[in-house]
Structure 1
């Protein structure tokens, strides 16, 4: 089987099988689909490498944004705890006043 290199519309090298020895060659559409799959696989590999690099060393910008988010979350949590404490304290005061009013003649 012999193969002849050619260039597709994207400028990529493609290999077409010649019909030597009775083998069928790929149609231009089939070869183009295979080339596109090859290009897609390469792009996905590049993307995977970039994402792995970003995951291994987060940028300072992301870390700064996360620190700001952490501060805001901590503030909201503190305010929530204060609100819950205030509600519990008010309920205790009301229940103490109610018990004192029931006990007075």
Structure 2
């Protein structure tokens, strides 16, 4: 059963509701969803091929997937680190003003 378009689309939000970073993250998730759809289509195509071709394709896919996973982890880590730095600046700035 294929997912319908309505289940994969995000609710409409205006640019005023989101920060640029949040919009970028949503855009990346949308791009990821499209890539997952392409992956599902490719896997359907590969299902009809001989086993050796499937194994070669899966090895290549595994390499690409691990690279994407590593990049995603690094991006999330970077965002969390930036938020901690930003929060630290906010807390540090309010403490200096109280003295």
Q: TM-score interval w.r.t. the shorter chain?
A: 0.3 to 0.5
User: How does the TM-score come out when normalised to structure 1?
Assistant: 0.43
| Higher-strand-fraction structure | 1
Question: Rg larger in 1 or in 2?
Answer: 1
Give the helix-richer structure, 1 or 2.
2
